[in-house]
Each structure stands twice: as C-alpha cells, then as structure tokens.
Structure 1
Amino acid sequence: MSHTVSIRNIRQVTHDVKEFKVDKPDEFEFVPGQATEVSIDKPGWRDEKRPFTFTSLNGEPDLEFTIKIYDDHEGVTNELDSLHVGDQLIIREPWGTIQYKGPGIFLAGGAGVTPFIAILRRLAREEQLEGNRLIFSNKTEEDVILQEEFEAMLGRNFTSVLTDEPADGHVYQDGFIDKAFLEEHISDFDQPFYVCGPMPFNEAMLGYLKELGADPDALVFEE
C-alpha cells in the first residue's frame, strides 16, 4: 500500500543533510530502525523509489526522514533538495532488518547512522540508554549528523571518529575504525553490535568483529 503525504517542514541538519517532516497517515506505525521506499509525487519521479529510514517515533504527529543529499548526479536526493513545504512524497509500507536487541555498541558510517536515530531516541525517551554506545565515523566535523543531540543523549558513550581531518575536542578520535581501534576502545565483545554504513564499512566492521570474537548471531546490520 502506498500513501501520498505532504511535506510539512524542511530543516538543514548539516551542509549536505536535510530533515523532512511529512504528514503521518492514519494508523501508520513502524519499528524504530525501519525504513520505507520513498518517491517524489511529480511526473517522471513517481517510480523512482529510494529507501529512507524513519527518524521520528510512532507517538509523534509527523513522519520524519533525515536524508543525505547527493548533488553530484541527477538522482532522487538531488531532486528532494529542490522541494519545498507543500510538495508531496509517496511512501510505502515499513521494512528493515535493524531492530534493537538489547544494550550494545552502535557502529555507524556517515548517513548509515540514520537507522540508529529513532532507536536511540526511543531508548532516551524510555530512559533505557544505559549500556548503549555509539561510535560514529565521518570524514570531517561538519559531516557529523546530529552531533549535539548524540552528545546530549549519550555523553561519554558517544565517540565521533574523523577520517579526513585532525580531531579537535574531547569527543573526537582521529583516524579510521579498524580492528586495532575496536580492540582498544571496546573491552567486551560478548554483546550486540549494530552496524550500518556504506557496504565497504559494513563488510569491514563485520569482519573485524568476528575476528575479535563477537557472536555472529549478535551482529545486527542492514542487508
């Protein structure tokens, strides 16, 4: 089933990430971490479907998506960047493989953090964040999505890793998340690990975690 929804608000989150709030259809529900296929309700775009994760929670009046804009080619996100309040999107039924299975380590690369946003927001609302940690890799400080919110929610359990510029500030580590980094910063590999990012990031993280003794059944990642 598909739903046509109107854009209620657009907010610039980072230099290349926007937050879109849209109408929430009656009785529409999803599990934090899930996504839906979205297309733009304009001629030539209605069949161009792309998966985007819900970053709002079920109890909120609107649906929210936090979307990285790729302006280097004429694709869906580039077209989304040109939309305004009142324009319409088409959304479908929720789906997704990342679901919360208990306190653990969230490993995110770039826009791959989006499935974790609703999960962590729900845990914060329910005061269940204890035991969870987010390690978030980006190229530069200006690329970090929702940095202040993650700091406020997680405090010292939020680690921001920058790969393309020196670290500046107590929450940053400079370099790449590799096997040595994980071994140095994580003392317990007998817990759930949630992994989402570009495919090379996912494959590398899952390989490192298995080598370090993490249980394959405890690895939750977007397929």
Structure 2
Amino acid sequence: MEYTLKVLSVAPVTHDVHRIRLEKPEGFSFTPGHVADVSVNKPGWVNEKRPFTFTALNSEPYVEFTIKCYTDHDGVTKQIGQLQAGDELIVSDSWGAIEYKGEGYFIAGGAGITPFIAIFRQLHKDNKIGNNKLFFSNKTAADIIYEEELKQLLGNNAIYIVTKESDPGYRHDYINEAFLQKEVTDFVNSPFYICGPDAMTAAITDILVKNGASADTVVFEK
C-alpha cells in the first residue's frame, strides 16, 4: 500500500543530511530498522522510488526519514533536499531485513547509520539499550549523523571512526579485520548488524564469518 504524505518540516542534520517529518496516516507502523519505498509527488518524480529508513519511533505523531542528499546531480535525494513544508512524498508500507535480534555489534558507514537510529531510540525508550556497541565510520567528523544523540544513547559504546582526517576527538582508523579482532570479544555468539556501502557490507561480512560468526547472526539489508 502507498500513502501520499504532506511534509511537516525539513531540517538539516549535517551539511548534506536532512531530517524529513511527514504527516502520519492513522494506524501506520513499522519495525525499527525497516525501510519504505519513497518518491517525490511532483511531475517526473512519482515513479522514481528509493528505499529510505524510518528514524522516528512508532510512538511519535509523525513519520520521519533522515536522508543524505546528493546535490551533484538532479536525482531523488536532491529533490528531497529541496522539499518544503506542504510538499508531498509517496511512501510505501515498511519492509526490510534489518531488525533487532539481541545485544551485539552495530557497524555503520556514513548514511548506513539510519536503520540503527530507530532501533537505538526504541531500545533506549524501553530501557533495554544494554551493552550494544556501535562502530560508526565516516570520512570526516562533519559527516557524523546524530553524533550527540548517539553518545547520549550509547555512552562510551558509540565509537566514531574517521578515515580522511586526524582529529584528536575521533579514532583515525578503518573497520578492517585487525580493527574487529581488537574490538570484538565474541564473534561466535554475538549478533552483528551491518549497514553501509555494498562493498563495505560484503567485506565486513566476510571478515566476521572468517572469524567464527555464523551467517545467521550477521544482519544486513539484502
């Protein structure tokens, strides 16, 4: 099913990421970590559907997406970044493979953090954040999405890695086999949640399985 939803607000999160809040249909719900197919309700864009992750909780009175907007070409995300209150998005029912399966390790690259936002917010609301650990890699500190909120939710278990600069407040590193062997205490029994560029997801999945993780405990969008 599809819903045509009015934009309530558009706000910057980082220099190229926007938070979009929409009117919420009665009875609409989703599983934290899941996505919807979204298109812009403007001529020429209605059929240009892209998957984006819900970031607000079901308990909120609005639907929310947090979207990285690419302005170097006239694509869907550039159109989304230009939205104003009163414009409309067409949103499908939710779907997806990423959902919470127990305390473990979350590994995100850039905008790949977005499926984990609602999961962490829901766990925090339910007082079940536990010892979940986040490894969040970005090119620069300016690219980190919801940095302060993630620190509040996870405390010292939110570990930020930057790859393109050396900043004393962040780890200058790469999430590779050496990094994971140092940081992960249990490859065999821990769930792993991965979201980022396809090449990153594939490489990290291979490393985890090589080090004893079961394919059944590695969660990513297929």
TM-score (norm. length: structure 2): 0.98
Partner of 2:206: 207
Residue 88 of structure 2 is matched in structure 1 by: 88
**Matched residues in 2 for 1:167 and 1:210: separation?**
32
> Distance between the aligned counterparts of 1:167 and 1:198, measured in 2?
23
> What is the match of residue 159 of structure 1?
159
**1:8 and 1:168 mapped to 2: Cα distance?**
38
| Divergent runs of 4+, >3 A | none
Distance 2:219 2:185 in 1: 19
In 2, distance between residues paired with 1:167 and 1:219? 31
* Matched residue, 2:184: 186
1:220 corresponds to which residue?
Answer: 219
Q: Shift in Å at residue 168 of structure 1?
A: 2.0
Matched residue type, 2:172: D
Matches within 5 A, 1:25-174: 25-169=25-169, 172-174=170-172
What CA distance in whole angstroms lies between the structure 2 residues aligned with 1:212 and 1:52? 31
Q: Partners of 1:26 and 1:168 in 2: how far apart?
A: 47
Unpaired stretches in structure 1, ≥5 consecutive residues: none
User: What is the distance in 2 between the residues matched to 1:156 and 1:119?
Assistant: 18
State the alpha-carbon separation in 2 of the partners of residues 101 and 187 from structure 1: 18
- Tell me how many residue pairs correspond in the alignment: 221
Looking at structure 1, the residues matched to 135 and 177 of structure 2 have their Cα atoms a distance apart, in angstroms, of 14
* AA of the residue aligned to 1:220: V
Cα-to-partner distance string for 1:23-55 (whole Å, 9 max, x where unaligned): 111111110001100111111111110110000
1:8 Cα deviation after fit: 0.4
Task: Give the C-alpha shift of residue 173 in structure 1.
Answer: 1.1
Offset at residue 186 of structure 1 (A): 1.3
- Aligned equivalents of 1:98 and 1:16: distance in 2? 24
Tell me, in whole angstroms, the C-alpha distance in 2 between the residues paired with 1:193 and 1:208: 12
RMSD of aligned C-alpha atoms?
Answer: 0.7
CA distance in 2 between counterparts of 1:39 and 1:168 reads 40
Alignment of 1:13-24 (within 5 A): 13-24=13-24
Secondary structure, counterpart of 1:165 in structure 2: coil
Question: How far off its partner does 1:79 sit?
Answer: 0.9
What secondary structure sits across from 1:14 in the alignment? Answer: coil
What amino acid sits opposite 1:42 in the alignment?
Answer: K
Partner amino acid for 2:97? T
User: Against the structure 1 CA distance between its residues 54 and 220, is the aligned structure 2 distance closer, same or farther, given a 3 Å change threshold?
Assistant: same
TM-score after normalising by structure 1: 0.97
